[in-house]
Amino acid sequence: MPMDEMLKNSGVFDPEEIDLLTRVYEATCHQFENNSDREQRASRIIANYQSGIRGEAELTELARQDLGR
C-alpha cells in the first residue's frame, strides 16, 4: 500500500503531515527495495515523526540510515 494511502486511511494525520511524510518517503526510495523494505521504511518514518522528530531533513536522514541487516 502506498505511503500516502496508508496515512490517509489511518485518520491520525492532517493533510500537511501527510504531505511531509510522503515527501520524506519518496525522497528515500531505493531502486532495489522490495515491498517489505518499503513498508519497514514507511513505518520507521512514521515512528520517528510520532516520537517528536518534525524536521524534514532529519526525518529524511534517519530514513536513509541502514538498520544493519
- Per-residue pLDDT of 13-26, as tens digits, reads 888 999 999 999 99
Burial code (b: 16+ CB inside 10 Å, e: under 16) for 15-52 equals eeebebbbebbeebeeeeeeeeebeebbebbbebbeee
Q: What value does the mean pLDDT take over residues 18-37?
A: 92
Q: What integer best gives the mean pLDDT of the chain? A: 87
Q: Is the pLDDT at 69 greater than 80, yes or no?
A: no
Place of cell 536522514: 61
Do 60 and 42 contact (CB within 8 A), yes or no?
no
Q: For the chain, what percent of residues have pLDDT higher than 70? A: 86
